Amino acid sequence: MKVMILGLGQYPKGSGVAAALYFARRKDDLLVVDPYYTVAMAKNVARLKRFKNVKFVLGKHATGRVRDMDLVVRHQRIRSNEPELKMARKHGVPIESELSVFLEACPAPVVGVTGTRGKSTTTALLHSMLEASKRWRKTWLGGNILVSPLTYMDEIKERDIVVLEMSSFQLEGLGEAGRSPQIALLTNLMRDHLNTYASMEEYAEAKVQIFRHQSAEDLAILPAEKAFDAYASEAPGSVYRWGKKGSPEVALVQESKLKIMGAHNVRNAEAAAAVALLLGVKKTAVKKSLESFKGLENRQEIVAVKRGITFVNDTTSTTPDATIAAVRVFRASGRHRVHLIFGGADKELEFGEIARVLGKRK
């Protein structure tokens, strides 16, 4: 089979190089194309050069080569209007993504987690719950946390379970391929990536691909708020609305002593607990994970306390909503003098609310 990998990426376990290695080891005829090649990708190129069945087109487009392909696999950061993808659609060449390839081949059930904020924390916490339950031979973790599941595809058994964080960019690829994970969790929807998407509606449409292509036997788990009613009605399979007052997950989180701080992390914990309980994990195992989970790096991470000043690494707060949540956490804990260092790129989001929050002394 002739396969084009469109977009290589720089991360050693990222989606582009993982897909390339997966097909290279299958001895397919592979063409790796990255029009936006940089020297940061050189190590990934070097890893692929040992395969005689791999060729490269780097730093330029390869639109004319598409018609000769049996399959195009797009990197999550390759936009849908790239000329290679347009050519593939014109000539009926199938377009897949690293995650859609994985979902098609994976012998074990897959839990997909998405949302605007907190999806990494929720994914990691859910993984710890499922792993602690010992209901499965092995619980795998991957996706948007820089580890493509294709890196361990050949090791997965039917008695395993896989937990994947899925970004909006990854879910676009699933939408085009017409695939969704068997169990899909949506944590929340907030304004984000409006420098990439034309509107909030377009961004939300990418997110709901996580359950849009499920079967009648699959399960979608969405927030209980009324704002998600329309999305819930579109799910092809069963639907559970997490976070209702008095629900098992809410009650369990309320009685647990969480180490992670903030109302937003309570919500993350409730979402993870809902999935775990639905999958048959015992409440004792869920509670144990809730109380032992310390959070992830770069997320409200206290890195030092010097001369009465607490230094916090919250560099994954890439939206005003996320920064506001962190500020409120540390103000509520008694640390009222908060000094913020801003940076990063403009996502064309509104900064009015964060200005109002920061303008208050407490």
Of residues 23, 5, 196, 27, the one with CA closest to residue 88: 5
Query: Is the pLDDT confidence value at 346 over 80?
Result: no
Residue 45: per-residue pLDDT: 98
Query: Is the pLDDT confidence value at 295 over 80?
Result: yes
Q: What is the pLDDT of residues 302-322, one digit of tens each?
A: 778 887 777 888 877 777 777
Residue 336: per-residue pLDDT: 58
Report phi then psi at 52, rounded to 5. -70, -20
Average pLDDT over residues 317-332: 76
Q: Which of 121-125, 260-264, 307-311 has the highest mean pLDDT?
A: 121-125
Q: What is the pLDDT of residues 52-64, one digit of tens each?
A: 999 999 999 999 9
What is the average pLDDT score of the chain?
92
Residue 319: per-residue pLDDT: 75
Domains and CATH numbers, the chain: 2-93 (3.40.50.720), 100-292 (3.40.1190.10), 301-359 (no CATH)
Query: Is the pLDDT confidence value at 241 over 90?
Result: yes
SS (H, E, C) the chain: CEEEEECCCCCCCCHHHHHHHHHHHCCCEEEEEECCCCHHHHHHHHHHCCCCCEEEEECCCCHHHHHHCCEEEECCCCCCCCHHHHHHHHCCCCEEEHHHHHHHHCCCCEEEEECCCCHHHHHHHHHHHHHHHCCCCCEEEEECCCECHHHHHHHCCCCCEEEEECCHHHHHHHHHHCCCCCEEEECCCCCCCCCCCCCHHHHHHHHCHHHHCCCCCCEEEEECCHHHHHHHHHCCCEEEEECCCCCHHHHHHHCCCCCCCCHHHHHHHHHHHHHHHHCCCCHHHHHHHHHHCCCCCCCCEEEEEECCEEEEECCCCCCHHHHHHHHHHHHHCCCCCCCCCCCCCCCCCCCHHHHHHHHCCC
Distances (CA, A) of 241 to 122, 186, 188, 266, 359: 16, 10, 12, 16, 36
Average pLDDT over residues 52-79: 97
Lowest pLDDT segment from 56-60, 236-240, 322-326: 322-326
Residue 347: per-residue pLDDT: 66
Query: Is the pLDDT confidence value at 296 over 80?
Result: no
Query: Is the pLDDT confidence value at 335 over 70?
Result: no
